[in-house]
Structure 1
């Protein structure tokens, strides 16, 4: 069973988050035993079972059930290591709990850290460099390299990809057929918006599309569209670019989509899509399992719409080991991570949840290819993966950058404010935060 934790207060401001991390940095399925995952000598020499505390956001639903099965399978496969999972409600709660724990000493050995959080803990030197512990048996070269290398900094490896995802375009195929619209309209944002009135009037839905808010990762799912229109949130050197012409054009295009009445803004786009309120939605590949299990209509998936070009980012979470963990727990943690991300287990996890297989051998395996043949919605996600890019630094490396950008999108889409005005304000808010991060990086990496 996964033990629930009470969520502690979340550090809500970028300044508060930065201060907390600075303080934290100062504190420094079967039962057959597996021979492949036998514990190394460092663990065996302790003479007792090593218990690993693992903090995760997968405590319920399809993803929670899949992770519970994975942990139970690992625990049953050997006797030297026992993983004790503790679940909170989302990625942000894991990070908040960890910020507090680094100051009180109440920390896990392993944590599931999202795309917008792992780097902050890297800057506070709270994560172990896994490079010295990577063995030839782990076959690091077999990981999908675009996902694996995202956790590399200054020659170190600070997490291993696990629940990795990308945004995916979901559409109600019954509505599309009823409206007499070709799915080809979803190839570009402009043709999709043009077809929206027919999808609504003939398809029988309230809106063609639903945008979420900052809390529902609005800045993440709209990252790809910004690229599609030729824009960026920022460049690799933390120069904020969203207020430039392509970013403004993206904002105005989406604002018109909403103000025309053809798209709506909601708290949780996935729920409205499942309930038949909208014809289409952008959601995580990690939502594929839950949408498949709950939707009562025929839905299909597609690559994200293009405009000037294709744009889609990566996302999701990786498994990190705490720098302060004793050596035997670090070794045990890596064995757990190796198990979770093995060819067999990442295949099972991906098929159950919709998250990406994180190994090339898993994607190419006969079992996975047979599954994808039977589940074309999952194949879409896997085939889109090579076209994706790592996210812009403004969202993933600037503390609270995701929320700052997300609130900007809310101003444009919910409050109907001009994109140029909003993005100028967002730029001014992000600039000092970017400078602070650059100073931290310089101090840490030289």
Structure 2
């Protein structure tokens, strides 16, 4: 009888322990809350992030991003980052828009910083202001925050950011009797040097006229009088006299001064022409600096863009955006990945590997970037030029507004219409497009 009673209570105790274990497991799972690693550990599943990424400049960008994702996953074994290489910035924006409209947004994406108002109108972004402490935001260079905010709200994180800089071939300067330590600092000097550097098989200067010609024009407008749009994304100033003066100079380099090829100069061809010696100088993104450093077999340098009435360049490049209609554990994982990417040492290494400007002040305080700048001072030029930089062209319906300006600037450079006509047409088309936002 005693054995039967003992067996009965043993059975009861076993059942109670089993129920207690189930209850404890449930409480533990719920308490993990916002931690993607914790949630994944309890469920046994990994959080998977879709990370859309463009490839807009030369160099091994894809390999670098793959390595960053791999390093992050080694630190966070319960998060999987899947980079999706979507082509150009424009291609990437199209694919992100298609995914969002299909109800399947990516978790995060690197897109042009200028896409801010378009994405805000779509109501698809996670606001990031309070996801990071204020000291985190204060570490970014102020010049890169202009295309990152709308009012006091922060909607993206500066990542691969740039300004336009002047690249010049010091060997070609020596051959032309020019001082290789004194690049042109004014528009007048640019023309003067360009004439001495233009020969039968070599141009003095090349400035791209596809893809980002609005960006090049914007630089010349900033050097002459001011920016070409309002800070709220609702107005453009294409017909201001300083913008017409800027476009006239851009056109004159090829048509009047004949120190630059007339007509179309492809964005991707210009750095190749510089590296091969077909042009002695070029305007291009600092994002190509590492490529030029690795591929040019001559002595070269980098300088501020020449001034008209003042120095100036728009900022450029891409920011990291997080999309709001994703699971909470994915959102938390995306924020962890952003923290990882923006650590000072990692920002420093990214700048060294790509040529993009280190986006944070703390990156330039690392021994890594200090040493690199000391050995390769060209790496500091774009950063130093930030004191003269302003926000890149960004408006509502930005793709349309930019296309209007791009098409008309290209027509002016090709000699099909005058600079005045190009800007008046661009202004008219932009005003009509932006009218609903006034």
Q: Does the aligned pair in 2 maintain the 1:62–1:289 contact within 8 Å?
A: no
Q: Does the aligned pair in 2 maintain the 1:181–1:199 contact within 8 Å?
A: no
1:307-361 Cα deviation digits (max 9, x unpaired): 1111111111111111111111000000001101111111110110011112111
> What secondary structure does 1:166 align onto?
strand
> What secondary structure does 2:198 align onto?
helix
- Map of 1:408 onto structure 2: 408
60, 72, 96: which one aligns with 1:62: 60
The separation in 2 between residues aligned to 1:306 and 1:66, in whole angstroms, is 35
1:136-285 alignment, distance < 5 Å: 139-148=136-145, 150-183=147-180, 184=182, 186-201=184-199, 205-215=201-211, 217-236=212-231, 238-260=234-256, 261-264=258-261, 265-267=264-266, 268-285=269-286
- Map of 2:419 onto structure 1: 419
- Map of 1:24 onto structure 2: none
- Map of 2:371 onto structure 1: 370
- Map of 1:341 onto structure 2: 342
> What secondary structure does 2:311 align onto?
coil
1:75-130 Cα deviation digits (max 9, x unpaired): 11221211011102111111000111112223210111112323311221111112
Say if 1:128 and 1:239 are closer, same or farther in 2 by CA, change over 3 A: closer
Q: Does the aligned pair in 2 maintain the 1:350–1:357 contact within 8 Å?
A: yes
1:373-388 alignment, distance < 5 Å: 373-388=374-389
Moved more, 104-113 or 322-331: 104-113
> What secondary structure does 2:398 align onto?
coil
> What secondary structure does 2:91 align onto?
helix
Say if 1:205 and 1:365 are closer, same or farther in 2 by CA, change over 3 A: farther
Structure 2: which 5+ residue stretches go unaligned?
Answer: 1-32
Say if 1:149 and 1:222 are closer, same or farther in 2 by CA, change over 3 A: closer
Say if 1:243 and 1:135 are closer, same or farther in 2 by CA, change over 3 A: closer
Structure index of larger Rg: 2
The separation in 1 between residues aligned to 2:139 and 2:194, in whole angstroms, is 42
What's the Cα RMSD here?
2.2
The separation in 2 between residues aligned to 1:434 and 1:233, in whole angstroms, is 14
Moved more, 274-283 or 245-254: 245-254
What TM-score does the superposition give when structure 1 sets the normalisation length? 0.83
Structure 1: which 5+ residue stretches go unaligned?
Answer: 1-38, 440-446
What TM-score does the superposition give when structure 2 sets the normalisation length? 0.84
Q: Does the aligned pair in 2 maintain the 1:214–1:403 contact within 8 Å?
A: no
Q: Does the aligned pair in 2 maintain the 1:160–1:319 contact within 8 Å?
A: yes
The separation in 1 between residues aligned to 2:306 and 2:298, in whole angstroms, is 22
1:169-195 Cα deviation digits (max 9, x unpaired): 111111111111235351011211122
Deviation at 1:240, TM superposition (A): 3.0
> What secondary structure does 2:306 align onto?
coil
Q: Does the aligned pair in 1 maintain the 2:397–2:433 contact within 8 Å?
A: no
The separation in 1 between residues aligned to 2:397 and 2:298, in whole angstroms, is 39
1:53-73 Cα deviation digits (max 9, x unpaired): 100014983222222221111
Q: Does the aligned pair in 2 maintain the 1:205–1:279 contact within 8 Å?
A: no
> What secondary structure does 1:209 align onto?
coil
Say if 1:425 and 1:90 are closer, same or farther in 2 by CA, change over 3 A: same
Aligned residues: 395
Deviation at 1:205, TM superposition (A): 4.7
